[in-house]
């Protein structure tokens, strides 16, 4: 049985009435079904505005689907919970808490004793390479460090799934590549089930065991490509012919959708 | 210099240093800031001195700085002005504390829970426009001319404003932080206590600082009517003897107290919320 099962999930955002600021209803997601196996690393690739975030937020329970349902371990999802850790595209560390207390947040909400909170937090902070920054406030960190803290914060909660919405989207290319390796290393070690949204094709192939391509808005799943590159992967895999073949295939798929998006807007 | 690199650059082709100083939002050095602040006071006293010592204004209407100071000295040594100050400060603090005690929790509830907001909002917005001073005759009827009446004037003047301000602040909490808390397992109670509260605390503190300033205007109004002690009462008393020196000194003392509490609030704010620095 699969870990996560998304069945016929669709989403329409209601329009806004009003004479000047009226908007029509937005169909963000066509009926979408997806099965995610335990330990899968799924990357979701698609042009901007195709409903990637919407799909991820529905899985997180932050958005309710207009129809269909999401099941985690056979249980229907109603609302957000600590079993699905999330890292957002925007920086969402709590500015009033130190890096360490940010990572402790979820543990504290669950009533874990303080000594254990600290042990767990320090372990994950070391893992994302932030030893020595435990007492900094988020405002004192670079963007990459903030996202690493957010990753440690999600991992510290020991969730069943990790949901990542373009977590490295705002980072420069080099930092981004190092972060990809870091996350992949953590996944190879902890074997969490991961859903990772991106619009970077290299990133999608490098991290994934499966790449799911979404069509232009309204989004639906266009194709589903298993990535059979060996683990552990290092950045060197990006220059292999196998990688290039995947890239060529996905670039073609995405190009068609991007052109559709642009002609729709025109 | 390292900081010139990160600062927003002024448009090219301007007039050098002076335009650089007047770049929008560009901060000035602390020393220059202090100097400019003091310079404004110096200019103020200079203008006052010229107007009075130069004979442009009759002493009956405006006492000179020296005369005001002398009047102030007499107030302290002969008329027990220190006690008046103490009474007024106590009234302000009591009324203000009472208002904060009601408004801050209510504002947090209204900001966090929309049904509570829907219930109170219209009434509070209505009550906010009722002038506190208009209540003085009623309050004298209800509470006499004792301390309670003065404190209630301040309370009525401050509480509704504060409720609205706190509500707006709490409502404005970043929703992505709230969502992050939910995905980390926080429940409703945890979100209110450990996200909405700490996120709004620095701004609530700032709102309290503003409202304390208004509380001072209400206390003086309250003391102009039916009081036997207090700074406002002293000013009214001085009017009967046309003692502009005492009146000016009284007003001046209020300003100084305001300046000091403001400074204390700012220092405390920076101490309590170091993470909010520079926002
Ligand atoms: N709260 C909302 N209310 C109304 N419309 C929304 C809302 N959230 C998203 N949408 C619309 O739904 C569509 C899909 O949005 P979504 O954020 O899922 O796209 P995305 O694929 O994540 O795009 P990007 O790559 O740019 O982040 C968009 O057209 C957007 O305008
Ligand atoms: Mg998105």
pLDDT for the residue B21: 82
Q: Whose CA is nearest to atom 18 of ligand 1?
A: A51
Cβ-contact A179, A147 below 8 angstroms: yes
- Give the residue, by CA position, lying nearest to ligand 1 atom 29: A49
DSSP letter at A197 equals E
Q: Establish if B274 touches chain A: CB-CB under 8 angstroms.
A: yes
- Cα(A215) to centroid(ligand 2), Å: 14
Ligand nearest to the CA of A52: 1
pLDDT surpasses 70 at A114: yes
**Quick one: pLDDT at residue A261?**
77
Give a yes or no: residue B52 inside a domain: no
Count of domains forming chain B: 1
> What is the Cα–Cα distance from A223 to A199, expressed in whole angstroms?
15
CATH code of the domain in which B125 resides: 1.10.3720.10
Q: Global pTM?
A: 0.86
Q: Is the pLDDT of residue B195 over 80?
A: yes
The whole-number pLDDT of residue B131 equals 86
A71 and A110 fall within a common domain: no
Q: Report the length, in residues, of chain A.
A: 266
Nearest residue CA, atom 12 of ligand 1? A28
Residue B223 CB partners (closer than 8 Å, separation 6+)? B88, B91, B150, B230, B231, B232, B233, B236
Say if residue A224 is in the same domain as residue A172. Answer: yes
Query: In angstroms, what is the span from residue A165 Cα to ligand 2's centroid?
Result: 7
Query: Which residues line ion ligand 2, judged by CB < 5 Å?
Result: A 53
Number of domains making up chain A: 2
**What confidence tens digit (pLDDT) does each residue in B221-241 have?**
888 887 788 999 899 888 888
pLDDT of A259 reads 83
Residues A75 and A170 in one domain: yes
Does residue A24 form part of some domain?
no
Note whether residue B186 is domain-resident: yes
Structural domain boundaries, residue B176: 65-276
- Beta-carbon contacts of residue A207 (< 8 Å; ≥ 6 apart): A41, A43, A180, A183, A184, A187, A196
The CA–CA distances, whole Å, from B112 to A43, A144, A229, B98, B155 equal: 36, 32, 49, 22, 24
Residues A130 and A189 in one domain: no
Structure confidence at residue B117 (pLDDT): 95
Q: What is the pLDDT of residue B11?
A: 54
pLDDT digits (tens, 9 = 90+) for A40-81: 999 999 888 889 999 999 999 999 999 999 999 999 999 999
Categorize the per-residue pLDDT at B133 as very low, low, confident or very high, splitting at 50, 70 and 90. confident
DSSP state of A119: H
User: Where in A95-252 does DSSP place strands (E)?
Assistant: 161-165, 193-198, 210-214, 221-226
User: Does residue A22 fall inside a structural domain?
Assistant: no
A51 with A174, same domain?
yes
From A21-25, B8-12, B142-146, B270-274, the region with the lowest mean pLDDT? B8-12
Are A246 and A183 within one domain? yes
The pLDDT assigned to B187 comes to: 93
Which single residue is written with the structure tokens 């002398």?
B70
Q: Is residue B7 predicted with pLDDT exceeding 80?
A: no
Nearest CA-CA partner of A152 in A107, A213, A196: A107
Q: Is B25 among the domain residues?
A: no
pLDDT at B163 over 50: yes
pLDDT of res. B4: 41
Residue A35 maps to a domain: yes
Lookup: tokens for A47: 């042009």
pLDDT at B2 over 70: no
Residue B26 lies in a domain: no
Q: Would you say residue B251 has pLDDT above 70?
A: yes
Residue A107: domain span: 94-158
Domain boundary among A158, A176, A192: A158
Query: In terms of domains, do A182 and A260 share one?
Result: yes
Q: Is the pLDDT of residue A178 over 90?
A: no
Distance CA B29, CA B7 (A): 13
Mean pLDDT of the residues in chain B: 88
- Indicate whether B59 pLDDT > 60: yes
- Domain boundary residue, one of A142, A158, A174: A158
Which of A110, A135, A158 is the last residue in one of the domains? A158
Q: Which atom of ligand 1 is nearest to the CA of A54?
A: 18
């Amino acid at each position: 049985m699969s870990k996560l099962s998304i069945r016929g999930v669709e989403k329409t955002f209601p329009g806004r009435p009003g004479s000047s600021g009226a908007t029509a209803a937005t169909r963000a997601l066509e009926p979408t079904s997806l099965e995610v196996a335990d330990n899968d690393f799924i990357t979701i690739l698609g042009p901007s505005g195709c409903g990637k975030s919407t799909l991820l937020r529905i899985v997180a329970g932050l958005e309710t689907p207009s129809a269909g349902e999401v099941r985690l371990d056979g249980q229907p999802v109603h609302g957000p919970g600590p079993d699905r850790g999330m890292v957002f595209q925007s920086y969402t560390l709590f500015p009033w808490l130190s890096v360490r207390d940010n990572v402790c947040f979820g543990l504290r909400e669950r009533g874990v004793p303080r000594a254990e909170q600290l042990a767990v937090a320090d372990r994950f902070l070391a893992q994302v390479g932030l030893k020595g920054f435990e007492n900094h406030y988020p405002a004192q960190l670079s963007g990459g460090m903030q996202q690493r803290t957010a990753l440690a914060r999600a991992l510290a909660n020991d969730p069943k799934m990790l949901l990542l919405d373009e977590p490295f989207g705002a980072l420069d290319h080099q930092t981004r590549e190092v972060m990809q390796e870091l996350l992949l290393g953590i996944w190879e070690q902890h074997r969490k089930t991961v859903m990772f949204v991106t619009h970077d094709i290299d990133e999608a192939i490098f991290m994934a065991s499966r790449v799911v391509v979404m069509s232009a808005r309204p989004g639906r799943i266009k194709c589903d490509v298993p990535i059979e590159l060996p683990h552990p992967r290092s950045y060197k895999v990006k220059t292999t012919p196998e990688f290039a073949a995947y890239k060529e295939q996905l670039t073609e798929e995405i190009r068609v959708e991007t052109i559709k998006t642009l002609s729709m807007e025109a | 210099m390292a900081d010139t690199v990160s600062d927003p650059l002024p448009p090219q082709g301007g007039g050098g240093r002076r335009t650089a100083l007047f770049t929008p939002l560009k901060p000035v050095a602390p020393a220059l800031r202090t100097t400019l602040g003091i310079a404004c006071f110096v200019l103020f006293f200079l203008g006052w001195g010229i107007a009075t010592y130069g004979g442009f204004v009759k002493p009956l209407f405006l006492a000179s700085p020296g005369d005001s100071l002398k009047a102030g000295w007499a107030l302290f040594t002969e008329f027990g002005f220190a006690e008046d100050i103490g009474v007024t400060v106590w009234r302000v603090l009591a009324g203000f504390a009472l208002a904060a005690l009601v408004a801050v929790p209510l504002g947090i509830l209204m900001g966090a829970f929309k049904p509570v907001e829907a219930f109170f909002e219209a009434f509070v917005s209505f009550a906010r426009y009722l002038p506190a001073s208009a209540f003085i005759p009623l309050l004298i009827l209800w509470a006499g001319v004792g301390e309670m009446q003065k404190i209630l004037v301040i309370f009525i003047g401050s509480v509704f404003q504060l409720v609205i301000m706190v509500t707006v602040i709490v409502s404005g909490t970043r929703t992505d932080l709230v969502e992050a808390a939910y995905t980390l397992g926080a429940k409703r109670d945890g979100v209110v206590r450990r996200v909405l509260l700490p996120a709004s605390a620095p701004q609530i503190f700032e709102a309290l600082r503003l409202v304390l300033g208004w509380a001072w205007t209400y206390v003086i109004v309250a003391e102009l009517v039916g009081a036997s002690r207090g700074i406002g009462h002293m000013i009214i008393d001085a009017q009967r003897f046309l003692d502009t020196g005492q009146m000016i000194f009284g007003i001046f003392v209020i300003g100084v107290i305001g300046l000091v509490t403001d400074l204390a609030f700012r220092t405390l704010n920076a101490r309590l919320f170091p993470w909010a620095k520079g926002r």
